Amino acid sequence: MALDLARLLLFPALMAFAAASDLLTMTISNRVSLLLVAGFLVMAVGSGMSLQDLLSHVGAGLAVLAVAFLCFAMGWIGGGDAKVAAASALWFGFDFLLPYLVIASVFGGVLTLLLLQFRQWPLPAQLYNQGWLLRLHGRDSGIPYGIALALGALLIYPQTDWIRAVDLTRFALH
């Protein structure tokens, strides 16, 4: 039961926190990425994941980390986004990595276009006391890509073996 609750809540909660943090502060704490990695390792061992599958998931995470680090070095994404993308890739492995990245990229593109348009409009004076909104509206601000990563992750995660392994009948109301 505890393992099933962790499967249902841990990854989604951390991804939702990453999105909210990026929206409100334009940063994602290293703790989120570390918790995603630690949570994956605990869940993988607790679920009895084979060594071969574990290494495959680690390979997916390292592959994304390498590409994301390059994107960070080029100034295309933030460091927190790069780390969260790699940490979430651990959870998806190669089986779900491509759909996750494609969906997150589409959300990222839409988010970018919406924010660029939003930044063209004047911000109403009554919103000037909202620091997070001023940061989001600033033309020199980046894009809180953690939102797109979280949306992509939350759409793909229910299709993974993590959720398929959950015995939902335990949670049914009688």
Q: How many domains does the chain have?
A: 1
Residue 174 lies in a domain: no
Say how far apart CA 15 and CA 88 lie, in whole Å.
8
Residue 11 lies in a domain: yes
Residue 53 lies in a domain: yes
Helices 2-25 and 146-156 cross at an angle (nearest 10°) of: 160
pLDDT computed for residue 56 by the predictor: 98
pLDDT tens digits for 9-60?
Answer: 999 999 999 999 999 999 999 999 999 999 999 999 999 999 999 999 999 9
The average pLDDT across 73-91 equals 96
pLDDT tens digits for 83-105?
Answer: 999 999 999 999 999 999 999 99
Residue 142 lies in a domain: yes
Residue 118 lies in a domain: yes
Residue 9 lies in a domain: yes
99 burial (CB, 10 Å; 0-12 / 13-18 / 19+) is middle
- Domain limits at 12? 2-169
Higher model confidence: residue 50 or residue 170?
Answer: 50
**pTM beyond 0.85:** yes
